[in-house]
Amino acid sequence: MASSDATSLVWLRDDLRLDDNPALTGAAALGLPLTVVFILDEESAGIRPLGGATRWWLHHSLAALAASLENKGSRLLLRRGPAAAVIKEVAAETAVTHLFWNRRYGLPERTVDAEVKAWADGSGVHVSSHQANLLFEPWTIRTGAGGPYKVFTPFWRACLAHGEVRDPHEVPLQLPSPALKGGGALPAGEDLDSWNLLPRSPDWSGGLADTWEPGEKGALRRLADFLDGPAEDYGTGRNVPGVEGTSRLSPHLRFGEVSPFRVWREIRERFPRKIPADVGIFRSELGWREFCWHLLYNNPELATRNYRPEFDRFEWQQLSSGELQAWQQGRTGYPLVDAGMRQLWQTGWMHNRVRMAAASFLVKNLLADWRIGEQWFWDTLVDADAASNPANWQWVAGSGADASPYFRIFNPVTQSRKFDSAGGYLRQYIPELAGLDGKAIHEPWKAANVPGYPAPLVGLPETRERALDTYSRLKD
Ligand code: FAD
């Protein structure tokens, strides 16, 4: 094809941003007519359908991205269908010669990308793929014996010794206008509303909309607010669910609205001389995100299979629908678990310490299979992540890599006394407990009259014993 006919296509996926988007920067630098496409793929084999909360997020994130692209002279083309087939269609419509994307790490996604790459190679389309969403790509970090890591601390040490993290790419000043079809028209896109990503009848998304600003602008604002405020006290603040002591960047990172390379650089710029210890702890949490992807890359069935195969013999209990609903709806009678589950339902997010307590209650006190909780979180979290969600559930269950030992059973009463001692977080999400003081609120069943709040679903000491017994049988 003559070079005057050449055109570029950027295929955006979980990288819904202009800043530090090497696929976009690379295409912009080439200067050819440029089409930018996002494909809603619910059909390719093995692709996990999005949950309700991430569908809501995706809608707003795409709307924000489309506006940012238009500001730069470009446009977002929306298409739906099996991604490999759709890319080929768009490529034919716009006579694409150069295709750009940022790499993905899940097996079904890699399989789609490999199919597209093979087609492109056979069709004379040049493919350029980039590292954008992980600081350390899973295959680059290996143990001395050449295998994947199973334990976080040596993994993160190896990452930090791997070499300098690259600088982020700046937002392109201008983007080339899109490629036209033969007749001079822009390829037809689909209407975002027609994808029905937003909940209707009932519309449960009010609390999400009050809490979040999906899109790159919201992500960068969160990052700046965090680094200006709680970052330097992160080591203690991150454990207190009643204060905004963490970054709340998780959904923004999930959708790639902010690049981890940008986060890394911003930290270095704010603290040029020495990174404070608390900020170092924050960086290692970003390391956990990398570790989860390392695990998923090396164990593609992380969401469905026990990482430790001995757990295949574990005697999970079948919950009654009433027990499961009590957990899902925040009506277990244990305030910390209930506040967390209600925070999740209302805002699409739950504080990490409370996630651990709520998950431990489900898999240890109720002995439910961790996959049941993982699926509920998948549907309700705005940050539901294909790697972090199953890796953390398996960590809590004890079936995962570097997992919490089986005898570590979070006691929700001790945890709330310790991390929400005055009960402010509990009161925020459980209005029935508003009248109890900071002492009584952690064990409301001991108070005389708490109308509307349930009695404990199960006893803590006996379910703890039952869990320990069940876990100990694994060793037989
Ligand atoms: P910060 O404390 O500000 O941490 C910064 C970033 O580091 C986070 O945004 C996140 O990207 C990463 N991070 C922090 N902790 C972890 C962790 N334990 N594992 C992996 N990455 C981490 N996190 C998700 O992003 N998606 C999930 O689907 C998810 N499911 C979870 C399920 C369970 C049962 C548990 C116990 C934890 C889960 N987490 C998940 C991890 C953690 O709870 C959230 O990342 C964190 O609460 C997000 O809030 P933040 O952005 O304020 O975190």
User: Which CATH class for the 134-167+215-298 domain?
Assistant: mainly alpha
CA atoms of 284 and 291, how far apart (whole Å): 10
Residue ID of nearest Cα to ligand 1 atom 52: 248
Ligand 1 geometric centre to CA of 163 (Å): 25
Residue 73 near residue 176 (C-beta atoms within 8 A): yes
Mutate to test the pocket of ligand 1, among 250, 252, 385 (most ligand atoms within 8 A of CB): 250
Which tokens go with 331?
């009506």
- Alpha helices of 124-212 — where are they, by DSSP H? 152-160, 206-211
- State which ligand 1 atom lies nearest to the alpha carbon of 385: 28
Per-residue pLDDT averaged across 298-311, rounded? 97
Q: Cβ-count burial of 366 within 10 angstroms (0-12 exposed, 13-18 middle, 19+ buried)?
A: buried
Asked if residue 393 has its Cβ within 6 Å of ligand 1, the reply is yes
Asked whether the bond before 202 is cis by omega within 30 degrees of 0, the reply is yes
Residue 3: predicted pLDDT: 54
Q: Does domain 1-132 have CATH number 3.30.930.10?
A: no
Asked if residue 350 has its Cβ within 6 Å of ligand 1, the reply is no
Ligand 1 geometric centre to CA of 292 (Å): 10
Residue 185: predicted pLDDT: 85
Residues 214-254: tens digit of each pLDDT: 999 999 999 999 999 999 999 999 999 999 999 999 999 99
Residue ID of nearest Cα to ligand 1 atom 44: 352
- Residues catalogued as catalytic: 285, 288, 316, 352, 370, 393
Residue 75: predicted pLDDT: 96
CA atoms of 175 and 198, how far apart (whole Å): 30
**Taking the domain 309-475, which CATH number applies?**
1.10.579.10
Residue with the two structure tokens 């924050």 = 282
Is the pLDDT at 1 greater than 50? The verdict is: no
Residue 467: predicted pLDDT: 96
CA atoms of 340 and 427, how far apart (whole Å): 11
Instruction: Give the pLDDT band (50/70/90) at residue 163.
Output: confident
Residue ID of nearest Cα to ligand 1 atom 13: 285
- Residues 6 or more apart in contact with residue 139 via CB below 8 angstroms: 297
Per-residue pLDDT averaged across 255-269, rounded? 98
**34-40 and 8-12 beta bridge pairing:** parallel
The pLDDT mean for the chain works out to 96
Asked if residue 253 has its Cβ within 6 Å of ligand 1, the reply is yes
Domain segments of the chain: what residues? Answer: 1-132, 134-167+215-298, 309-475
Residue 183: predicted pLDDT: 74
Ligand 1 geometric centre to CA of 188 (Å): 38
Ligand 1 geometric centre to CA of 446 (Å): 34
Instruction: Give the pLDDT band (50/70/90) at residue 299.
Output: very high
Q: What is the C-alpha end-to-end distance of the chain, expressed in Å? A: 68
Residues 35-63: tens digit of each pLDDT: 999 999 999 999 999 999 999 999 999 99
Asked if residue 372 has its Cβ within 6 Å of ligand 1, the reply is no
Residues 365-421: tens digit of each pLDDT: 999 999 999 999 999 999 999 999 999 999 999 999 987 777 889 999 999 999 999
pTM here is: 0.98
135, 150, 395, 399: which is closest to 295 by C-alpha? 150
